[in-house]
C-alpha cells in the first residue's frame, strides 16, 4: 500500500502528511461493508469509506474552479461562469481526470466489486476523484487543490470552453474543440467510425471510435471511444474523451503531444 500511495501522490503532485486520509479517500463503501460484516481478514479500514470525503471534495472543487473562472474571466456574467463551471466539474469530466492520474488502479474495493469491474466505472471514478480532492483539502488546504485543478481539471479544456462561449457556439462542441487542438499541433485530422450499435430502435446505443489520421492511406491511431443515443452524441463523447486524454498527456510530458492508446470500452 505504501508504494502504491507514493505512486498516486506523484501523479497528484501532492505528498500527504497524513496518508491515512488518502487511504480513506480510496476506500469504496463495498470494502468498508466487507470489513464491517467480518467477511474479510484484511487490515481495518481507517475512518470508514470515502463518501463523506466525496461530499467535501465536491464542494471544494466547485469553489476552486469557480474562483479560477471568476479571476480569469472578469468579463463573464453569472450565467456564463455557471455554464463553464458545470462542464468542468461534471461527472464525465471528473471521471476523465481520474483516468489521467490512474486513480482506478489505487481504489480499495471488496473482492466481489473488484471482480465485477467496478474500479473502471465512470461514476466510481468521478466520486473517488472528488473524495481524493476532499482529502487533499483536509491535509493541505486549498493550495494543493488549486494546483491540481489547474493542471488536470481546467487546463486546455477550460480554454476550449471559453473559446466556444466567445464564439456563441453551444458549450460541449467537443468535435470542433478536438479538431482545433489537432490543427494547432499539426497532428492530423480526427476521423470517426461507428464500431457497434445495440439496443432496440427506441433506445439505441452507438459506440464510436475517433482516430487520428495523419495522411491519406494510413489507418490512423485510435484516440478514444464514446457512446451515445445517437451517432452525433457518440461522436461528441468520443471527441470529449480524446481531448481530455490529449490534454492530460501534454501536461505530463511538459506540453509535448504524445501518442495515445485507444480506449477500451464495451
Distance CA 190, CA 254 (A): 23
- Quick one: which of 1, 11, 24 has its CA closest to 252? 11
- Residues paired with residue 221 on neighbouring β-strands, in sequence order: 212
Q: For residue 47, what is its C-alpha cell?
A: 475512518
Using alpha carbons, list the distances in angstroms from residue 101 to 143, 210, 214.
19, 22, 28
Distance CA 10, CA 19 (A): 13
Question: What are the backbone angles phi and psi of residue 198, rounded to the nearest 5°?
Answer: -145, 165
Catalytic option among 49, 54, 96, 130: 130
Using alpha carbons, list the distances in angstroms from residue 128 to 55, 57, 111, 134.
10, 9, 18, 10
Q: Where are the beta strands (DSSP E) in 137-255?
A: 189-198, 205-213, 221-228
Let me know: does 30 contact 113? Beta carbons within 8 Å: yes
Name, in order, each residue with C-beta under 8 angstroms of 13's C-beta and a sequence gap of 6 or more. 144, 147, 148, 151
Catalytic option among 49, 54, 58, 96: 58
- Quick one: which of 24, 75, 14 has its CA closest to 51? 24
Using alpha carbons, list the distances in angstroms from residue 56 to 128, 129, 131.
12, 11, 7
Instruction: Answer yes or no: 58 catalytic.
Output: yes
CB atoms within 10 A of CB 183: 12
Catalytic annotation, residues: 58, 130
Amino acid at each position: 500500500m505504501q508504494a502504491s500511495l507514493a505512486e498516486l501522490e506523484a501523479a497528484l503532485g501532492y505528498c500527504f502528511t497524513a496518508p491515512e486520509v488518502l487511504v480513506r479517500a480510496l476506500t469504496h463503501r463495498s470494502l468498508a461493508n466487507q470489513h464491517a460484516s467480518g467477511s474479510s481478514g484484511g487490515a481495518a479500514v481507517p475512518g470508514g469509506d470515502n463518501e463523506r470525503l466525496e461530499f467535501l471534495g465536491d464542494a471544494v472543487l466547485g469553489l476552486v474552479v469557480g474562483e479560477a473562472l471568476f479571476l480569469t474571466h472578469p468579463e463573464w456574467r453569472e450565467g456564463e461562469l455557471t455554464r463553464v463551471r458545470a462542464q468542468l466539474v461534471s461527472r464525465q469530466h471528473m471521471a476523465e481526470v481520474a483516468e489521467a492520474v490512474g486513480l482506478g488502479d489505487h481504489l480499495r474495493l471488496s473482492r466481489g466489486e473488484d471482480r465485477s469491474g467496478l474500479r473502471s466505472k465512470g461514476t466510481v471514478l468521478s466520486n473517488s476523484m472528488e473524495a481524493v480532492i476532499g482529502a487533499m483539502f483536509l491535509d493541505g488546504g486549498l493550495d494543493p487543490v488549486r494546483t491540481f485543478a489547474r493542471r488536470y481539471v481546467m487546463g486546455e479544456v477550460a480554454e476550449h470552453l471559453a473559446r466556444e462561449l466567445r464564439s456563441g457556439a453551444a458549450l460541449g462542441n467537443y468535435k470542433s474543440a478536438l479538431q482545433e487542438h489537432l490543427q494547432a499541433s499539426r497532428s492530423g485530422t480526427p476521423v470517426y467510425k461507428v464500431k457497434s450499435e445495440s439496443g432496440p430502435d427506441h433506445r439505441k446505443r452507438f459506440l464510436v471510435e475517433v482516430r487520428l489520421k495523419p495522411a491519406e492511406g494510413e489507418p490512423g491511431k485510435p484516440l478514444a471511444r464514446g457512446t451515445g443515443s445517437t451517432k452525433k452524441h457518440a461522436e461528441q463523447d468520443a471527441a470529449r474523451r480524446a481531448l481530455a486524454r490529449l490534454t492530460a498527456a501534454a501536461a505530463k510530458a511538459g506540453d509535448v503531444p504524445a501518442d495515445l492508446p485507444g480506449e477500451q470500452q464495451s
